[in-house]
Amino acid sequence: MSYRFKDLTIDRIGVVGSGQIGPDIALHFAQALQPFQVPVTVVDIAAPALERGRTRISEKLAKGKERGDWSGEMAEAIDGLLHFTDDYEELRGASLIIEAATENLAIKRAIFTKLAALCGPQSVFASNSSHIAPDDIFAELAPPMRARALVAHYFFPADRNPVVELVSGRDTSPGLIDALVAFYEAIGKLPVRVGGRYGFAVNPIFEGLVLAAILAVEEGLGSTKEVDAVTRKSLNMGVGPFTAMNLTGGNPITHHALDEMTTKLGPWFRTPQLLKDAVTHGTPWEVPKRDERIEVPAERERAISDAMRGAYFGLAGQILDIRIITLADLEVSVEAGLAVRAPFQFMNDIGVPAAQALIERYAATHPGFGVPACVKAQASSSLPFRIDHVLRHDHGDIAVLTIRRPRVLNALNEAVYQQLHEHALALQADPKIAGVVLTGFGTRSFVSGADVNFLAKITTPAQGTATSERSKRAGNLIEQLGKPVVCALNGPALGGGSELAMCCTARLVRRGLALAISQPEVDLGIIPGAGATQRLPRLVGVAKAAEMLRTGRGISGREAVECGLVREEVEGDLIDAAVTLVRAAARGETRLPAIDRRPLDTAAELPAVDLGHHSRAVDRLICRAIIEGCRRPLDDGLHFESELFGECCATEDMRIGVQNFLKNGPRSKAEFVHR
């Protein structure tokens, strides 16, 4: 079998290198492409490395079964697609080959010279280089091969870390990069486009943090244990920098990289003596044990924290200054790839002038460490950094808006609502744009709902009503844009995500979603506040809508089509299908009827449903919203819903539901008191 996506046809994948990261790359491909039975071959000339790679995969598959990530049958199917060999001949004609050998230019060039003799110009060559630019790696290949070659830089562990930096060379086909960005997103990765500077975008930040941590130890701010623990806490890291180095075995490559960075990036970057000693002796860093509590005196903790934050903010700003990546891409790739608090939102949260002061203080005692121009400019503007969570890409006369907040499954917050509204205004006024596609990033979720944290801040019914009205602004404008808008449901649409989808002229859904649409507000002890009580009855009928709204039951993609909420399920490229549909609607070739804005003739009572543990007090408000609200024109019904949302915010059950969610998570059932 094969996997076809846009201009790519992938029937066989090769991975060269069975070291620290190659087997993980192979595992992710086998897992993601298992439904298409695409085989993955790992090649390494060293028999011990092949054996270690096989063992690594077996252990990961076993752990995945224990965690319930996949069934035993699925694990066997994934394992059956993986093949380890020392014979390069088995890569002949492979569609996509990822080189994951050691970070050595001569070795990489030799590998691709050998691969060029085995593969035709239809093969895609990618190097998992962490530092070396593609123009250097592929310099000896013929031009047709260079057009199909790039760097695809994975992060540890490659089977679970979502980030892949895609770095094109001078000769890389732009169409290839576009196709690979879409391909990697479709198989569950977070691809970002990066320019070809040494180390690219994310590694100089990570290796810079490692350098800053080592310098903090050398300067006497604390021990490696203390600096590791304080840095983890002060930057909200998954693990501290020294722990990360131990886990990845990163000392040798960071030693080499920092030496190279001295001339390629700037004089602050250099290999400190402690790192040289660690590499020479092969010793790991002394770090906190699991659950070990490290007590650091307050003054010392503040000094370490200030130094590490100053270095972190400066490193992120320096990358933005050189314009090899957008701010939005840098923000999400650093947050997801390094498991650290997103840098520019972090600076916004503490105040950009305060962040600038930390950078300046660090630079004053560390020669060669520059204060980024972007931070200076932003601080002087008295405005926060603009962080785009809604991205626009035009496909000719059709604009595609993508909501991208991968760490929270594209959840809506005030910034997202505001950016959606801004984009809608711009698109409404743009004569070149005939229609719009609205989608979410990735495959896990269209929008997982609205950010629950803002609910905890509501203290009065008036605040609740105002919050509900604000959440409707973007959707109301999208609904009345004057141009067709198709929602491409790449994953489940929950709560506010479902309400946003209902504002679109039509909806398409990726085929096979067991859960496609749900209004789970009752689990939180609230009623929907962004239009579901008014739009859902008009789209699927009062009885069906009432059952979904009152019980919180989600529906599959197939059921969504059957009840008329979604136009069709799509096999293959969902965005292309949505662009085709909206363009046909804009040209008058396909009719997409607008929602009926007239009052509905609702009965005095709704059919009985099993409320289970849900709040009867909240249910009474939902019933009122449906019965009384739908008897009004749509605009009036939406305002009525906002008023009832305000009333809901005065209930005890709303407090109970929200606090239970924040404390115990979405799967915990709240113990409502029905008042």
User: Both ends of the chain: CA-CA distance in Å?
Assistant: 58
Q: Do 364 and 398 lie in a common domain?
A: no
* Euclidean distance between CA atoms 573 and 511, whole angstroms: 10
Q: Are 466 and 413 within 8 A, CB to CB? A: no
Find, among 528, 530, 481, the residue nearest to 506 by Cα. 481
Q: Do 454 and 334 lie in a common domain?
A: no
* Domain endpoint, select from 139, 165, 194: 194
What's the confidence (pLDDT) of residue 666?
A: 87
Q: Coil, strand or helix: which one is 529?
A: coil
What's the confidence (pLDDT) of residue 491?
A: 97
Tell whether the torsion through CA atoms of 102, 105, 108 and 110 is positive or negative: negative
Residue 330 lies in a domain: yes
Find, among 472, 457, 468, the residue nearest to 420 by Cα. 472
What's the confidence (pLDDT) of residue 120?
A: 82
Taking only the tens place, the pLDDT of each residue in 574-633 is 999 999 999 999 999 999 999 999 999 999 999 999 999 999 999 999 999 999 999 999
CATH of the domain at 536: 3.90.226.10
Q: Do 169 and 239 lie in a common domain?
A: no
**Which residue has 């790679």 as its token pair?**
53
Tell whether the torsion through CA atoms of 85, 86, 91 and 92 is positive or negative: negative
The per-residue DSSP string of 428-460 comes to HH-TT--EEEEEESSSS-SB--B-THHHHT--S
Residue 509 lies in a domain: yes
Number of domains in the chain: 3
Give the residue ranges of the chain where pLDDT is below 50.
none
CATH of the domain at 86: 3.40.50.720
What's the confidence (pLDDT) of residue 121?
A: 83
What's the confidence (pLDDT) of residue 572?
A: 87
Q: Are 88 and 101 within 8 A, CB to CB? A: no
Q: Do 359 and 477 lie in a common domain?
A: no
* Euclidean distance between CA atoms 66 and 332, whole angstroms: 30
* Euclidean distance between CA atoms 499 and 497, whole angstroms: 5
Q: Do 431 and 372 lie in a common domain?
A: no
Q: Determine the residue type at 70.
A: W
Residue 358 lies in a domain: yes
Residue 672 lies in a domain: no
Q: Do 160 and 108 lie in a common domain?
A: yes
* Euclidean distance between CA atoms 274 and 151, whole angstroms: 31
What's the confidence (pLDDT) of residue 87?
A: 97
Q: Do 179 and 99 lie in a common domain?
A: yes
Q: Do 215 and 190 lie in a common domain?
A: no
Residue 271 has which token pair?
């290999």
Residue 45 lies in a domain: yes
* Domain endpoint, select from 349, 381, 413: 381
Residue 127 lies in a domain: yes
Q: Do 175 and 219 lie in a common domain?
A: no
Residue 502 lies in a domain: yes
φ, ψ of residue 276 to 5 degrees: the values are -60, -45
What's the confidence (pLDDT) of residue 70?
A: 87
In degrees to the nearest 10, what's the CA dihedral of 15, 192, 180, 56? 20
Q: Do 16 and 136 lie in a common domain?
A: yes
What is the pTM (predicted TM-score) of this model? 0.95
CATH of the domain at 291: 1.10.1040.50
Q: Do 325 and 471 lie in a common domain?
A: no
Q: Are 56 and 90 within 8 A, CB to CB? A: no
Residue 322 lies in a domain: yes
Q: Do 271 and 329 lie in a common domain?
A: yes
Angle at 425 between CA 424 and CA 429, to 5 degrees: 110
Domain that holds residue 518: 390-664
* Domain endpoint, select from 194, 229, 258: 194
Angle at 475 between CA 658 and CA 508, to 5 degrees: 95
